[in-house]
């Protein structure tokens, strides 16, 4: 009897953990803005597979925006949110105004995170500083609880003046480690 009780307790703990993981938001920045979607694979009786392009502002660096394109699974699994999305993600980040660091940040810190499957896979955009060149570097990749993906994309932004009176900040003064 004790073995059965232990199994039931373990099952209850696992169910609680799954519910908690599903309810816990995994976002460093605000939710991204959907720019547009395009169908890539036609499905007769269910939603099509699509490519979706989103925009997100860096929450720690004013004047920087990133756009990323992700594949979105269609079909019934995609419609219900049960499909595991693939790791093919492209990234482009640009200076859109004067660059101002809002606070100190760690090298390789998450700028944005988003779930890519119901429980175990997430996409991350991380930020770093190339101090020698005074360039912000952004990398996007996806990972899973057990095994990640080597697929990634990188974008860099040289910190340049924006207007006549703009002072150029050094990323090395704000990014540590």
* Nearest-angstrom CA–CA distance, 111 and 106: 11
Longest CA–CA span in the chain (Å) reads 78
Question: pLDDT tens-digit profile of 118-175?
Answer: 556 788 999 999 999 999 999 999 886 556 667 889 999 999 999 888 889 999 999 8
In a domain, 54, yes or no: yes
Question: pLDDT tens-digit profile of 52-90?
Answer: 999 999 999 999 999 999 888 765 565 556 565 666 889
Residues in the chain: 177
In a domain, 2, yes or no: no
In a domain, 59, yes or no: yes
* Nearest-angstrom CA–CA distance, 129 and 19: 37
* Nearest-angstrom CA–CA distance, 12 and 142: 29
Q: What are the CA-CA distances from residue 120 to residues 13, 20, 82, 84, 143 (Å)?
A: 17, 12, 11, 9, 8
Chain CA centroid to CA 17, Å:
22
In a domain, 152, yes or no: yes
Q: What is the pLDDT of residue 151?
A: 81
In a domain, 33, yes or no: yes
Q: Partners of 90 in the beta sheet?
A: 69
In a domain, 4, yes or no: no
Question: pLDDT tens-digit profile of 96-128?
Answer: 999 999 999 999 999 999 876 655 678 899 999
* Nearest-angstrom CA–CA distance, 131 and 176: 10
Exposure class string for 63-80: b at 16+ Cβ within 10 A, else e: bbbbbbbbbbbbbeebee
Domain count across the chain: 1
Residue 47 belongs to domain spanning? 29-169
In a domain, 7, yes or no: no
In a domain, 8, yes or no: no
Predicted TM-score (pTM) above 0.85: no
């Amino acid at each position: 009897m004790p073995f059965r009780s232990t199994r039931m307790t373990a099952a209850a703990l696992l169910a609680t953990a799954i519910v908690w993981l599903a309810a816990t938001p995994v976002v460093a920045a605000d939710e991204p803005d959907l720019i547009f979607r395009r169908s890539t694979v036609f499905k007769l009786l269910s939603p099509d597979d699509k490519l979706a392009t989103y925009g997100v502002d860096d929450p720690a660096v004013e004047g920087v925006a990133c756009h990323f394109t992700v594949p979105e699974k269609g079909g019934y699994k995609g419609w219900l949110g049960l499909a595991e999305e693939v790791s093919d993600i492209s990234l482009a980040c640009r200076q859109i105004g004067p660059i101002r660091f809002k606070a100190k940040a760690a090298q390789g810190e998450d700028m944005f995170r988003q779930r890519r499957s119901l429980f175990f896979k997430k996409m991350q955009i991380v930020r770093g500083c190339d101090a020698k060149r005074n360039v912000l570097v952004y990398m996007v990749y996806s990972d899973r609880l057990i095994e990640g993906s080597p697929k990634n994309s990188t974008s860099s932004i040289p910190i340049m003046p924006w207007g006549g009176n703009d002072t150029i900040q050094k990323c090395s003064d704000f990014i540590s480690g």
